[in-house]
Amino acid sequence: RVKQAMTRSAPSVTTDVLPHVSIDLVSYSAWDTKNSPDDFGKSLAFISRHKRPTSPFNTNGIYVGEFGLPESEATPKTAFNRTAELLNVARKFGCPYAVYWQIYCNEKTAPSLNSKNRYKGFWLVRPDGTRSPICRLFQ
């Protein structure tokens, strides 16, 4: 977890491995900062400080390998706005890729006010075939 390494000096791949290897891309699974665009950006910068610049991406060799906000934790509008904020931070930082988790949600959960169909709501396409508002961000 990048945020723990950043805030608590906890051992991590970022601090204990990245400085010693040469790789083209680092994937950041951004679950620890999905609720804070500010922390998300700080985490990208923290990873960047520990990664060796290598070709072809040089200092932009970090991509967001997993991120999202399920509709069971927020309204579709809130999930859309947060996802847009995180994508904007990733773009400004120079991430070459950002991979949303997931196209079709397969994570079952108990019904909630925001997700009555028993899925967490990590999706671009809902079980009924409709597209979530977040889908528009990737068109």
- Tokens encoding 53: 């610049």
Whether residue 111 has pLDDT greater than 70: no
For residue 131, the 8-state DSSP code is B
pLDDT at 118: 80
Q: How many CB atoms lie within 10 A of CB 59?
A: 11
118 and 109 Cβ atoms separated by less than 8 Å: yes
For residue 36, the 8-state DSSP code is -
CA separation, residue 115 to residues 23, 102, 107, 111 (Å): 40, 16, 12, 6
CA separation, residue 112 to residues 55, 118, 121, 127 (Å): 46, 8, 11, 16
Which tens digit of pLDDT belongs to each residue from 42-80?
999 999 999 999 999 988 999 999 999 988 888 889 999
Which tens digit of pLDDT belongs to each residue from 70-108?
888 888 899 999 999 999 999 999 999 999 998 998 888
pLDDT at 71: 83
pLDDT at 73: 85
CA nearest to 120, candidates 94, 133, 137, 101: 101
* Superfamily, domain 2-138: Glycosidases (3.20.20.80)
Whether residue 112 has pLDDT greater than 70: no
Please report, for the chain, the start and end positions of each structural domain, with discontinuous segments joined by +.
Answer: 2-138
> Does residue 26 or residue 106 have the better pLDDT?
26
